[in-house]
């Protein structure tokens, strides 16, 4: 079954895997799947404004963000891999692609989550998503050199950007994360550098939950207080049952 294969989440910055995919990560971990996070940068320049204003050095800031990310990952039950590829701007390099291909092959993911193609507020996000989708295709080819076996064709889902309506993001999957909601909240609270976002993403989880209830058929039996995360599917869903 699909839940046996690992979940792989590829993000530009540490916060992204918490705010946008923390529920999916916690749920995978709770169900016994391996939950792997590829964090391409520490968000050291673009998402650490307070630390810079407080006069921290680049290395200090990276250390803080790394520690926060590790704590959050631990709460969610995921293992986090840092690529330290730099942010603002994050740019593809041959080395980054190669490392990511190797991670894909080592993890052999059953599902991949990453950034959507547009975010006019943060150009690292679409770039990270592009790199993640590209590395997935490269990892399928025996001719692309690197350790590990080639991978299959795991489905890819884009998680929700911060301002979805003006980023061309259409949520076509609402993931019920009610069973792990408390865990996601705890992980969000560990993100000290971006603490102001906890309330925002708590409201979002509730709102997507309401929409999940409103859009679900008669048989799902979602609870009154459903919490959800929104995703956009990149490749067609393959299923043996319409629901």
Residues 76-105 that bind a copy of itself (CB under 8 A): 88-89, 97
Residue 160 and residue 211 in contact, taking contact as beta carbons nearer than 8 Å: no
Out of 24, 35, 69, 100, the residue judged to bind a copy of itself by CB under 8 A: 24
| Min CB(230)–a copy of itself separation in Å | 8
**Which residues have CB under 8 Å from 103's CB, separation 6+?**
8, 36, 38, 81
For residue 119, the 8-state DSSP code is -
User: Up-side HSE of residue 105: CA atoms within 13 Å toward CB?
Assistant: 20
SS3 category, 26: helix
68 vs 15: CA distance, rounded Å: 9
Q: Which stretch binds a copy of itself (CB under 8 A): 11-19, 49-57, 74-82, 183-191?
A: 49-57
Site for a copy of itself in 107-166 (CB under 8 A): 108, 110-111, 113, 120-123, 133-134, 137-138, 141-144, 151-155, 157, 163-166
From the CB of 120, what's the least distance to a copy of itself, in Å?
6
Site residue total, a copy of itself (CB under 8 A): 82
Asked if residue 231 lies in contact with residue 164, where contact means CB atoms within 8 angstroms, the answer is no
Output the smallest distance, CB 40 to a copy of itself, in A.
16
67 binds a copy of itself (CB under 8 A): no
């Amino acid at each position: 079954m699909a839940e046996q294969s690992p979940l792989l989440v590829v993000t530009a910055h540490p916060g992204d895997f918490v705010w946008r995919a923390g529920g999916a990560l916690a749920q995978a971990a709770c169900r016994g799947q391996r939950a792997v996070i590829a964090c391409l940068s520490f968000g050291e320049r673009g998402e650490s404004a307070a630390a810079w204003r407080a006069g921290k050095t680049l290395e200090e800031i990276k250390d803080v963000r790394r520690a926060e990310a590790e704590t959050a990952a631990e709460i969610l039950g995921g293992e986090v891999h840092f690529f330290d590829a730099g942010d603002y701007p994050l740019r593809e390099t041959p080395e980054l692609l190669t490392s990511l291909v190797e991670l894909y092959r080592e993890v052999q993911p059953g599902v991949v989550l990453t950034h959507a193609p547009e975010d006019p507020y943060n150009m690292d996000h679409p770039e990270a998503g592009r790199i993640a989708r590209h590395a997935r295709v490269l990892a399928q080819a025996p001719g692309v050199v690197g350790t590990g076996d080639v991978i299959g064709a795991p489905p890819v889902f884009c998680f929700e950007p911060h301002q979805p309506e003006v980023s061309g993001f259409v949520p076509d999957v609402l993931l019920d994360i009610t069973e792990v909601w408390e865990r996601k909240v705890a992980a969000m609270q560990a993100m000290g550098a971006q603490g102001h976002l906890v309330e925002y993403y708590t409201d979002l989880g509730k709102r997507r939950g309401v929409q999940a209830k409103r859009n679900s058929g008669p048989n799902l039996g979602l609870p009154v207080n459903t919490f959800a995360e929104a995703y956009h599917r990149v490749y067609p869903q393959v299923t043996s049952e319409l629901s």
